Amino acid sequence: MKKLWGGRFREKTDRLVEEFTASLPFDRRLYRYDIEGSMAHCRMLRKQGYLSTREEKRILSALAGIRRRIESGKFAFGPEDEDIHMAVEKALIRKAGPAGEKIHTGRSRNDQVALDMRLYLRDEAGEVLGLIGKLQSAILRKAKAEIDTIMPGYTHLQRAQPVLLSHYLLAYREMFDRDAARLKECLVRINVMPLGSAALAGAGLPLDRRYVARLLGFPRLSENSMDAVSDRDFVAEFIFGAGLVMMHTSRLCEDLVLWSSGEFGFVEISDAFTTGSSIMPQKKNPDVAELIRGKTGRVYGNLVSLLTVLKGLPMTYNRDLQEDKEPLFDTVDTVKASLSILTAMIGHLSFRRARMKEAAADGFSTATDIADYLVRKGVPFRRAHAVTGKIVADCLKKGRRFSDLSLAEFSKYHPRFGKDIFRAITVENSVSARQGPGGTSKKEVVKRIREIEAEKKK
């Protein structure tokens, strides 16, 4: 079949070239946005006098029919179709006749694909934001349910200080808050209308770009036609934002993988979100959490892939930019699937509260509280730190815990110790003592939960 752009060519395109350059196998998912953009362009062409009202109706009707056929699976994509733009335009010309041949007036595939990508990503970024919100809600529900659960906090993967499990969970909610803020900022830069930039220099006909922008819901027009057709910053920015989302999900999943092991025993992941072993009957594997962790590297790879495509491109449009779609589409699919399944899995976690509290009390996790106790008694912190370190060293040597010591033994280390030291070194007191803004005390955690719920109601 003759190419729509084939007027100056005398030889038929080699089949190998058609196969190598084709993007239709993956960019066909843009069909809805390609048709939506063409409909807006059609209305503008009629407004500007390039189409009659009859031609406009014929084109709009034909485009609507093509969309229905694609959605129903009845549309026949041909092997000679290069991309979704050519496939739709060929079908339009077959259906609408000479009127359909006018649809590309003042338009290039360069600004057409830029428009499709922005329309697509505007919708998908909105969906990702919605999924982040659902994940945050699941985290918040679990935090409220575990408001009295004490666990060991870690640094360097070593037990450090007791914290509330709710405080830990809300830490991830804060991470996803930042992710949402980044994607909202990215949406501002996505939501720019490039159509009318044509190939690179702008349209040579008097088009009404602002009218098209209003039809498509764009608040802004691109300001430079050369930048508009070659810009993929918004794609890279989205993938970067998605990469941070995945990094945060990966960190959470890493903890769940560790915590579900026999060595930790902090959490039970529902059977519905685990798998078994093909040879070891006793195994219950946290495969969902592991796969999310693994897929994070895939999204990182997509970002590096796109940045590598972009790094050496001369102005303006180059066919290399066809390689932007697969990394983007894969990122969208991966982050949406990961957020959806993680949200569901969190709702089916059962925490072993007694085990977590026991671990929180082990490993001298209230040592800082002993130092703080001495500080409140007027001892300089560095001296208090050294005294506490000596107590820890002696306990390790003798196989004892803080709770095994008598007041007389505490007093040998420093005369400022009193009977109230035994209350200070409980995990409950350690947690409740952290009452500063952002601390792990129940008072502060409940306060933060109420703030979040109030923000959600606005």
Can you tell me which residue has the tokens 């129940």? 442
> Where in the sequence of the chain do the CATH 1.10.275.10 domains occur?
6-105
Our answer to whether residue 248 is catalytic in this structure is: no
Q: Is the pLDDT of residue 341 over 90?
A: yes
Distance CA 198, CA 228 (A): 9
Q: Catalytic one among 261, 270, 277, 403? A: 277
Distance CA 63, CA 92 (A): 6
Q: Tens of pLDDT along 39-57?
A: 999 999 999 999 999 999 9
Q: Tens of pLDDT along 98-135?
A: 999 999 999 999 999 999 999 999 999 999 999 999 99
Q: Where are the beta strands (DSSP E) in 414-454?
A: none
User: If pLDDT is split at 50, 70 and 90, which confidence band does 23 have?
Assistant: confident
Q: Catalytic one among 156, 278, 350, 406? A: 156
- Say which amino acid occupies 396: L
Distance CA 24, CA 88 (A): 11
CA angle 72, 73, 79 (to 5 degrees): 150
CATH topology (fold) of 6-105: Fumarase C; Chain B, domain 1 (1.10.275)
Residue 365 burial by CB count (10 A; 0-12/13-18/19+): exposed, middle or buried?
buried
Q: Is the pLDDT of residue 1 over 70?
A: no
**Is the CATH number of domain 360-457 3.40.50.300?**
no
Our answer to whether residue 385 is catalytic in this structure is: no
**Could you tell me if 137 and 172 are in contact, meaning their C-beta atoms sit under 8 angstroms apart?**
no
Q: Tens of pLDDT along 368-416?
A: 999 999 999 999 999 999 999 999 999 999 999 999 999 999 999 999 9
| Mean of per-residue pLDDT scores for the chain | 95
Residue 220 burial by CB count (10 A; 0-12/13-18/19+): exposed, middle or buried?
exposed
Please give the structure tokens belonging to residue 438: 């952002």
Q: Left (φ > 0), alpha (ψ -120 to 50) or beta: where does 373 sit?
A: alpha
With a pLDDT cut of 90, the percent of the chain lying above it is 92
Q: What is the pLDDT of residue 9?
A: 66
> Where in the sequence of the chain do the CATH 1.20.200.10 domains occur?
110-196+226-358
**Could you tell me if 378 and 416 are in contact, meaning their C-beta atoms sit under 8 angstroms apart?**
yes
Q: How far is CA 16 from CA 10, 20, 161, 186, in A?
A: 17, 6, 64, 38
CATH topology (fold) of 110-196+226-358: Fumarase C; Chain A, domain 2 (1.20.200)
Q: Tens of pLDDT along 213-255?
A: 999 999 999 999 999 999 999 999 999 999 999 999 999 999 9
User: What is residue 150's three-state secondary structure?
Assistant: strand
User: If pLDDT is split at 50, 70 and 90, which confidence band does 22 have?
Assistant: confident
Q: Which residues of 324-349 are buried (b: 16+ CB within 10 A; e: fewer)?
A: bbbbbbbbbebbbebbebbbbbbeeb
Distance CA 211, CA 41 (A): 9
> Where in the sequence of the chain do the CATH 1.10.40.30 domains occur?
360-457
